Amino acid sequence: MFQTLSLLYRVFCVAVIFILFLSCGGRREEETVTGTPVVMHHSSLLAITDCEGYTVVDVKNPWSKGLLDRYILVPKDSEIPEGLQSGVVVRTPLERTIVFSGVHATLFEELGVVSSVAGVCDSRYIYSQTVSEAVKAGGVIDCGSSLNVNAEKVIQISPDAIFVLPYENGGYGKLDNMNFPLIECADYMENSPLGCAEWIRFYGRLMGCAVKSDSVFDAVCKEYMQLCDTVKHAPSYPKLLCEVKSSSAWYVPAGQSTMGKLYSDAGANYLFSSFAGSGSVPLSLEKVLSLASDADIWLFKYNSPVDATYKSLLSDYAGYANFKPFKERNIYACNTHRKNLFEQVSFHPERLLKELVALFNPTLLPEYEFVFYEKLREE
């Protein structure tokens, strides 16, 4: 059952087959922007500049040099200035959008702008209660699969912008030939949890709630850094093994990925931290065994209507029995079929960090009750 990972699992941070083999290459050359730069504290991909009458947002290409795209945000109640740099002009605030990811629908609900969502793709992965109910009632249009969008429904919505998920060397099919701004949500390719979370500030500016989005981000940073300070007093740094094999490879988060950084910030001795990159790394089963057979703790995520057990794990692959956490029954799993992990933590990494701190060193947070991970049952 572990081979059937959810679309969200593959799309965000730890889900990585798509990250490795698909994508959007850079499209624009960088041009000098005259204005007042907005100080970005953690994002390595965003550059925001406030200009006279508009805002320029540069999104760096996570896979190569140059820009993935440049957005020029012009208020709807203003005339479009003359002499603008080349880029995608977006009239703000956005009032009719299509979102490809439940993560962004959930964020818009938190920011109080969920009413702007007029259409979604992959509706079965939308966990925002407001949006899900609206889809069922017909108030929000289901535009089909993000890999094969229903063009007629997109035209019917006539969105102000479409929030898409970029991948390396890939396009957007029918959407590339439509005249709607595509907001390329490369947040999941940031190399730190707080870098990903800082995209809240970009989305807030698109939706006309910059003050609120900045406030949310400030609160996220404050709690995250407080937890990092707590970890400095950790009595131990357990050796961590993560995820399970997929077909013939075992994908693990690279050391500079958001998940790799989260593991380290939470006080784990992350056994794959030496692998470079901000995505995931495919390893042979033999390589994982050589590096992590003596791990102290094993964490993995999966998507299944049936909860995993030691028995089902062993039936999936007998080699798992060679790992110390399997032998000592120290495995924790998160079933994303029941737990909205990605929606809850993509822009709130402090929530997952807190759980990981409590898991790796329970004495640091003795009152914490687990939300995402559960200790694996026998059968």
**pLDDT per position as a tens digit, 288-305:** 999 999 999 999 999 999
Question: What domains appear along the chain, each with residue ranges and CATH number?
Answer: 222-375 (3.40.50.1980)
- Mean pLDDT value across residues 339-357: 96
Per residue in 160-214, pLDDT (tens digit) is 999 999 988 888 999 999 999 999 999 999 989 999 999 999 999 999 999 999 9
State the pLDDT at residue 10.
39
Render the burial of 27-60: b for 16+ CB within 10 Å, e for the rest: ebeeeebeeeebeeebbbbbbbeebeebbbbbbb
| Whole-number average pLDDT of the chain | 91
CB 317 within 8 A of CB 324: no
- Among 355, 295, 282, which Cα is nearest to 19's? 282
- Per-residue pLDDT band for 29 (boundaries 50, 70, 90) equals low
pLDDT at site 20 = 32
* Chain segment 250-283, per-residue pLDDT in tens: 999 999 899 999 999 999 999 999 998 888 999 9
**pTM for the predicted model, two decimal places:** 0.88
Residue 9 clears pLDDT 70, i.e. is over it: no
pLDDT of residue 34: 85
Q: What is the pLDDT of residue 6?
A: 38
